[in-house]
Structures are given as structure tokens and as C-alpha cells.
Amino acid sequence: MKTTDVPRYTPDWLELRESADAAARSPELIEELRPRLAGPPLVIHDLGCGTGSMGRWLAPRLRGPQLWILHDRDPDLLDRAALRMPRAATDGSRITIATARGDLARLTASTLDGASLVTASALLDVLTAEEVEGIAAACAAAECPALLALSVVGRVEITPADPLDAEIAEAFNAHQRRGDLVGPDAMAVAAETFARYGATVRTHASPWRLGADHAALTAEWLRGWVGAAVEHRPELAGRAEAYLRRRLAIAATGALRVVVHHRDLLALPASRMLGAAA
């Protein structure tokens, strides 16, 4: 991942999606993870932390003292995340926050020395296969589990249907694969890569389910979804503009339903599996 001062996501977008993200993430994987965490204290590295929504969701679900090390390339997002992280777990144990600005390409086992967990949300699909490999290799060398949430899988369901839905979806998915990005192939790539490094991999569905209560998020998601499709296929512009107007009009009435499919991934290193069995 190239280091840059330009943030990939705006804080407004990250704030808008937080409640849908929280509702979508898989609590089932947390149940499997808990007994395999080394600590106390739990030392958790949150990669591409954004405004810290993963930490706000996960930290209260874990017991005992925690040290969260927030990683992002954008200093403004790091500051926001650090300020808004919880300071106490559900059982009252202290949560301590540290930040690390930098490039995920430099993630190594030494970075993760003493880590109990590596986590991320909505990150895998904007990485290259090489970057996914780097995360898997670092986790394997550090014998550290990884919980990687909300990777898009290239499937969207919109009700009521529109004749242009499939064409927009296909162009969007192609845009997500631009350059060397894994895009909607992220889950398959990550599962294979972590398994190759000896991890036991579990995945679980984590779809967004957007309806009348998510009008602002639905509208912003539609604009981004259609905009990316047109960026990949400019010849769609005229039809896509009319399509977006139709979709936004239905969304404004509260009648549009959107399911954006994601999956969460849990990778458990062999040493943690053996430890749990013992």
C-alpha cells in the first residue's frame, strides 16, 4: 500500500457507515476467538483503523485489560480514533490506546511482537494480494490470530429490482479489481493465504441490510457504487445518471431495500489451536 497523506476514506463516510458495520460484523467469530487470546493484557493491533469503529465495537466484547495499537496512514483519522476509543472494558478493566502512523507494507513480525490479535474492518478488499500475503506472513511469524471484518464479496441485492442493477454491479466489481487490488476476491485470497501459512480459517457472512432507517447511508452508498461503475465504464454515464436518479427517488420514500454482502474472516495460528486443545 502506497503511503500518502490523502485519506482513502472521509471521516463523514466512516461515521455514516458505523452503525451498519456494527450490526453486520459477526459475533459468532468472537466466541471462537475469545479462548485463544493471549493475555492479559490483550495487545490488539487495529490495521487501517479509520475513525476507530472496529475498536469501539470489539473492545467492549473482550474482558480484561487491553492495549489497542491503532494503525493508519492518516494522522487526522488516528487522532479521531484515539479520542473516541472506550477507556474501559465491560468488566471495568482499563483500555490503553497507542497510535502508529505508517504503511501496512512495512508490517512485520517484529511490529506484532507480543500481539494477542490483529484486526481490521473493510480493509482486505482495498489491498493487493501481496499486501494480504504480508499481513498473513507477519501474523504467522508472530503466532497471532487475525480477525478481519467486512470484506465485500461482489454481491448486492436491491429491491425493487431495476434492469440496470446487474450491469452496474459488474462494472463496480471490475473497478474494485483495478490495478492489482483483490477487491471482491479478497475473502478467497485471504483464506487461501492464511491457510498456506498454517492458520485455521473461519469465515462468516456479515451483510449490510439497508432499509428505511438507513436512508442517508443508502443514498451515499448508491452514489459511490454507481460512481465507481461509471469510472470503470465511462460509456455507462448517461444510463447510470438516470438509474441513480430512479434509485435515489425510491430510497427517499423509504421503499428501497439493499443487501450488500460481506464476509468476516478469523485466522487462528496452529499454536493457538494446539493451546486451546490442550
Tell me the pLDDT of the chain averaged across its residues.
92
Rounded to a whole number of angstroms, the distance between the first and last alpha carbons of the chain is 39
pLDDT at 277: 42
- Length of the chain as a residue count: 278
| Rounded Cα gap, residues 208 and 206, in angstroms | 7
In which band, very low, low, confident or very high, does the pLDDT at 138 lie, cut at 50, 70 and 90?
A: very high
Question: Residue 7 above 50 pLDDT?
Answer: no
**DSSP 8-class letter at 134:** H
Place of cell 494503525: 71
pLDDT at 10: 86
Query: pLDDT tens digits for 156-204?
Result: 999 999 999 999 999 999 999 999 999 999 999 999 999 999 999 999 9
